[in-house]
Amino acid sequence: MSGSKIRNIALAALLLVNLLFLYVIIDDAAEDSRVQREAVENISAILSAGGVSINPDDIAVVSDGMLRTMRTTRVPEVEEIIAHALLGEAIVTDRGIIYVYENPQMGRAEFYSGGVFSVSLLDGAVSNGGDTFGAVSLLLSEMQIEAMDLVISVHEGDSVERALAVVAYDGSRVFNSFVEFIFIYGSLRYVNGRYVAGVEQAYESSYISQVSSALLAFLSAVRDYDRPDISCYEIFEIQAGFLHRVAGTFGEGLLEPAWQVITDNGRFLIDDTTREIWRLA
């Protein structure tokens, strides 16, 4: 048999194997989609039977949002970026677990373990330019902090503006981590918050957090007469995210899966690790 015929047969065999492999992938994807659709319908029916209504589409939106516990570490390079965005060129002093950045013309920044930081700026060092939302959005970008749900509130007449954003990781909210900006008469005076960096998978585990188990835990709490603080008749939205917990003296931490449930009776947070549920302010 000639070499060209052998090559043609080999190529045909390889093509057949690839087609079979593609068929298996498509078939598995279709099966996963069917199972997921049935799970959404079932959990919606269970909630409805328990007196809580929900649009199945709202469950489907986050049904792919399966979260794993992640590990975080303190990253001095990230702290330098944050300090530079707010202070410009600054002198850094290593005080053990505290790093201090100072610029006499701008202000002072302190960074602690667990990603916590606090910045004080001199009056007039940084202005909102008449657009607090735009100024904060730009600063967050320059600080390289992923954030969501930026809200501006006004206090003490019009003299004080407070901008608060929820820190995020890979598109998911870190529900207990925030960045706060305080403006006084248009001048940025204080920035406080906690960053998330150095993220990697924490454990070699097959466990993943899924919205179905979180909603069942929530329904159980709603029906628990010993938990009058947790009640609702309708769920409007479910958000997949994390809780940031400090696990070491030098900044090591964990991002553990959590779920926020927005209802007709307020917002509730479900800790996927402990199954603890509490009402948010």
| 160 and 58 in a common domain | no
Taken as a whole, the chain contains a residue count of 281
| Residue 262, C-beta contacts closer than 8 angstroms, at least 6 positions apart | 235, 236, 237, 238, 239
Return the pLDDT at 184: 96
- Whether 83 and 187 map to the same domain: the answer is yes
Tell me, yes or no, whether 163 and 220 share the same domain: no
Q: How far apart are the first and last CA of the chain?
A: 79
Domain edge (last residue) among 133, 161, 194: 194
Whether residue 175 sits in one domain with residue 105: yes
Question: Are residue 269 and residue 168 in the same domain, yes or no?
Answer: no
Q: What is the mean pLDDT of each run of 10 residues along the chain (281 residues)?
A: 50 41 40 58 77 74 65 90 96 90 97 92 94 96 96 88 95 94 96 90 63 82 86 88 81 87 92 88 72
Q: Are residues 117 and 158 in the same domain?
A: yes
Are 168 and 223 members of one domain? no
Q: What is the pLDDT of residue 175?
A: 94
Task: Quote the tokens at residue 123.
Answer: 């009056």
Does residue 215 sit in helix, strand or coil?
helix
Please name which of 173, 165, 166, 147 lies closest in space to residue 239, comparing C-alpha atoms. Answer: 173
Same domain, 121 and 233: no
Residue 269 structure tokens: 């947070």
CATH code for position 117: 3.30.310
Closest CA relative to residue 189, chosen from 132, 141, 122:
122
pLDDT score of 66: 58
> Do 151 and 166 have their domain in common?
yes
Residues 263 and 247 in one domain: yes
Which of these three, 194, 216, 238, is where a domain ends? 194
Secondary structure class of 72 (helix, strand, coil):
strand
Domains: count for the chain: 3
Domain that holds residue 7: 1-31
Say whether both 79 and 189 belong to one domain: yes
Q: Which of 129, 121, 116, 136 is nearest to 88 (CA)?
A: 121
Asked whether residue 79 falls in the same domain as residue 178, the answer is yes
Structural domain ending residue among the three candidates 162, 194, 226 = 194
